[in-house]
Structure 1
């Protein structure tokens, strides 16, 4: 494996700018971008109606993609995973991937206020095609209650971005 091969992943509240940063990092690092939102919307367009549905299908997607991501890293291809790493359990999935193949990693942690996230969420919702599901402020609040920033004890290589 190439010494520069890296798995990039993210921690940040909903609408904090993770996907925008993911696209930039993929381009700047000549890395393959894999976006959970894209895969879920293509594979399960009619199945995700509530948070429990998301958890179910996200888990299936992760189990399916893990060996492929590991193989790509072993081939020397850096990966940008646009999947949330907003809890220790979610971050452990990323750890299982990069540790199993001995790849480098970068956890990109975006610090953004709830107010800014809600503003960005409104803008994002306005740009959705007609009939697309959008995220309400109440859903933002419900999901954000589970958010846990990374800690030094987790041992990740962290790049921090302040977006307020």
Structure 2
């Protein structure tokens, strides 16, 4: 029996070690790793670039969906600071019969900030400069995974007026098609 593919998702703040962990998993498992910063810097020279990050992330999620559909595993090295983002990505994985593996990466706050700064100084092509105010804002926005998330409890209903997590995800990441369990994942 062939084992189900896995969508690994690294979650945490900049400098916590998400990309290091993602690289290790990708190497150990021989799988594709998708890291938005490695695309944003060469394409746009900015971490947000007028909303382009959301568009890029949507396409990377779509690529991950297609990889999973092919029967291979993949890792999204995204950060995903909100439970809604994590639940939506989990539903993308589960919609094609893949297993979801959330990896929460955390580190002492002073060390995390220093690592982010060191990465900027030593490998600026892989990251972006971050001020203390940026770090404070990131820390305020990041909602750590709950025990229910970490134990893979049932996914709650999609938020607000969204009929599904796929609809929510398509709204959050505009380039992600509104596919469902029966679609091919193509644009429609």
Pairing 1:15–2:15 present = yes
Structure 1 gaps, min length 5: 158-164
User: Normalized per residue, which structure has more strand?
Assistant: 1
Q: 1:115-144 deviations in whole A, cap 9, x for unaligned?
A: 1111212211221349x8411222111111
Give the direction of change, closer, same or farther, for the CA distance of 1:44–1:150 in structure 2 (3 Å limit): same
Pairing 1:3–2:3 present = yes
Q: 1:156, CA displacement in angstroms?
A: 5.1
Q: In structure 2, the residue corresponding to 1:111 is in which secondary structure? A: coil
Please name the residue that 2:148 is paired with. 153
8 A Cα contact 1:34 1:82, kept in partner: yes
| CA distance in structure 2 between the partners assigned to 1:68 and 1:2 by the alignment | 22
Q: In structure 1, the residue corresponding to 2:141 is in which secondary structure? A: coil
| CA distance in structure 2 between the partners assigned to 1:133 and 1:65 by the alignment | 20
Please name the residue that 2:72 is paired with. 77
- TM-score of the superposed pair, with normalisation by structure 1: 0.80
- TM-score of the superposed pair, with normalisation by structure 2: 0.71
Q: In structure 2, the residue corresponding to 1:21 is in which secondary structure? A: helix
Please name the residue that 2:103 is paired with. 108
| CA distance in structure 1 between the partners assigned to 2:105 and 2:124 by the alignment | 27
| CA distance in structure 1 between the partners assigned to 2:121 and 2:42 by the alignment | 21
Give the direction of change, closer, same or farther, for the CA distance of 1:116–1:47 in structure 2 (3 Å limit): closer
Q: 1:44, CA displacement in angstroms?
A: 2.4
Structure 2 gaps, min length 5: 153-188
The 5 Å alignment of 1:81-96 reads 81-96=76-91
| CA distance in structure 2 between the partners assigned to 1:147 and 1:33 by the alignment | 22
Please name the residue that 1:142 is paired with. 137
Q: 1:4, CA displacement in angstroms?
A: 4.0
| CA distance in structure 1 between the partners assigned to 2:79 and 2:99 by the alignment | 18
Q: In structure 2, the residue corresponding to 1:145 is in which secondary structure? A: helix
8 A Cα contact 2:102 2:150, kept in partner: no
Q: 1:30, CA displacement in angstroms?
A: 1.1
Q: Which has the higher contact order (CA 8 A, sep 6+)?
A: 1
8 A Cα contact 1:86 1:149, kept in partner: yes
Q: 1:30-74 deviations in whole A, cap 9, x for unaligned?
A: 11111111122233236836xxx4xx2222123323333212112
